Amino acid sequence: MSVSTPAPATAAAPPLVLRNGRLPGSDEIVDTLIVDGRVRRLGYLSQAAAGIRSVDLEERWLIPGLWDNHVHFSQWAQTNQRLDLSGTGSAAAAADLVAGRVPGVSRGETLVGFGFRDGLWPDAPSRPLLDAAAGTVPTVLISGDLHSCWLNSAALARHGHTEHPTGLLREEDCFAVVRTLAEVPDVVMDGWADSAARAAATRGVVGIVDMEMDWNLATWLRRIQGGTDSLRVEFGIYTQHLERAIALGLRSGAGIDGTGGLLTVGSCKVITDGSLNTRTAYCVDEYPGLEGQPGSRGMLTVPPEELLAHLGRAVAAGIRPAVHAIGDRANALALDAFEQLGCAGSIEHAQLLTREDVARFARLGVVASVQPEHALDDRDVADRYWVGRTDRAFVLKSLLNAGVTLALGSDAPVAPLDPWVSIAAAVGRTRGSREPWHAEQAISRQAALAASARGRHRVLAGDVADLAVCEIDPFVASVPDLRRMPVAATLLAGRFTHTTL
C-alpha cells in the first residue's frame, strides 16, 4: 500500500464560474472562478472565457464546505435499518416496541434497535423483560451513546454471554457485539454507505473523520474505488490496528494512492473511559446513587501508563493521537499523557473539564473535538449525575476564549451526521422550545462555522473549491433556521456532489 501527499482535487474537474453569489454577513454580489479544483478569483467577472461553464447562484450564500470531525460511518449507514428507540422513556416502552417488531423478523435474523438512553428511565433494562418481548428472536438494543447494549437470552447465547444476569453489556463487551453486527456482506454495507455519503452531501458535507472500529483503510479504499466519491475521508486507526498501520508506513495527513485525493490517514484513537449515560465516564467525583460502590466514579478503560505507551508508539511513527475522554478525570489523564510526550493531538468529546484543564488544552496545542448536540441530548442526565458541575460541561466558549482549536462533529449515529445540527447546538445551546442550557457557553456563528470547516468561516481565493451554497445567510439565520439550513449545492474540488440549482 502506498501513501502520498494528499491531492486537493478528486478529479480534473473543468473550470467553473459561480455567478451572483454572496458571502456570509455581506450583501455584496461576487463571482467565483474555479480552476483545477481551486478558487482562483472572487469578485466581479465581466464574462467567462469561452468554454467555461457558468452557474448562477441567484444571490445565495457561498460558504466553505463542511466537515463532520467524528463519525462512525458504517454504524450511521446501518441506522435506517434498525428499530428506532430514541423516543422511549422506559425499559418497558422499549420492550413494547420490540414486541411489535418481532413478527416481521425473518428466521435466523437478529432484531437490532438503536437509540435508547436509560440514564433517566424509571425502570432498568433486564433480561427477563426483553425475553418476554422478543422470545427466541435474537435481539440487540444499542444505546444512543454506543457504550452499552441490551440483549435477550437468545442474543446473549449467540454472542457468548449466556450467563450474564441482566443482559446489559457495557464498554468493550458492548463494542464486541456491535462489531459483530457490522459483519454484513460488503456489497450490502457499501451500498448503504454510498447512500449515506450522498445524503451527507445534500447537507453541505465535503468530508468526514471516520472513527469506526474497523480497519478503515481497506473499507474506504474498496468503497472509493467502487464509486463512492461524494466525500473526503480521514480514517481513524485503533490501537489493535496500530502495528499494522506502522508496518504499512501510514502517517497522519498522507493521502492514499488510487483514491483521487479522497482518502487520507487520520489519527490513532484510544478510548480511555466510557460515557455519561452509562455512568462510565471517569470522573473526579462519585455519581449520585453509586457512592461507595465499585465503579462509582466511572470506568478508566486504559490506565495512564498504557495510554502513554500507545500514544508514544503512534507519535514515533508519525501518527497523530486522538484520545476519547468524557469525564473530568479522564480528560486530565489524557492531557497528562500529551504533556509528558510533548506532542499535540485531539481529545474526542472533552465533555466535563476542570477549569485548569481548559487552559492546558491551549498550552499543549490539543484540539477539542466536540459534539455540541450531545449537550442537548445529555442535559437532563448531566443535571442529575453531574449535579453541581454542569457549569464545567460542554464548555465551548471557555475553550475558545482560552485559545483552543475546536473541531465540531456528531459522533454519528449518536447524533445525526449533519453539521448544521452541530452548528445550531453550539450557537443556541437548545432545541425546540426549551430554554438554552448554560447559554454562557454558546459560541458565535462564525466560530461554529470555522470549527465545522477546517478553520475557514469564509471562502478565499486560493482555497480548495470544497464549497456549499446556502439558501439563508448562516451568520444571521435564527437557531431553528440553522438547524434545518436548506443547502442548494455542494462542491468537492469544483465538482458538484449535490445541486438543486
For the chain, first and last CA: distance in Å? 40
Q: What are the tens digits of pLDDT across the range 1-44? A: 444 444 444 556 789 999 999 999 998 899 999 999 999 999 98
pLDDT value for 69: 98
Q: What is the 3-state secondary structure (H, E, C) of 409-426?
A: CCCECCCCCCHHHHHHHH
Neighbours of 437 (CB within 10 A): 22
State the angle between helix axes of 304-316 and 328-341 in degrees (0 to 180), rounded to the nearest 10.
Answer: 40
Dist CA 140 CA 152 (whole Å): 7
pLDDT band of 183, cuts 50, 70, 90: confident
Backbone angles phi, psi at 38, to 5 degrees: -130, 155
- Would the CA dihedral through 250, 254, 259, 263 be positive or negative? positive
pLDDT value for 10: 57
Q: What are the tens digits of pLDDT across the range 457-497? A: 999 999 999 999 999 999 999 999 999 999 999 999 999 99
Sort 231 into a burial class: Cβ within 10 Å, 0-12 / 13-18 / 19+.
Answer: buried
pLDDT value for 182: 84
pLDDT value for 199: 98
Q: Distance of CA 288 to CAs 180, 275, 325, 326, Å?
A: 34, 15, 20, 17
Dist CA 346 CA 451 (whole Å): 13
Dist CA 248 CA 385 (whole Å): 44
Dist CA 69 CA 188 (whole Å): 25
Element holding 73 (H helix, E strand): helix 73-78
Dist CA 140 CA 135 (whole Å): 12
CB of 438 closer than 8 Å to CB of 475: no
Q: What's the grid cell of residue 138?
A: 435474537
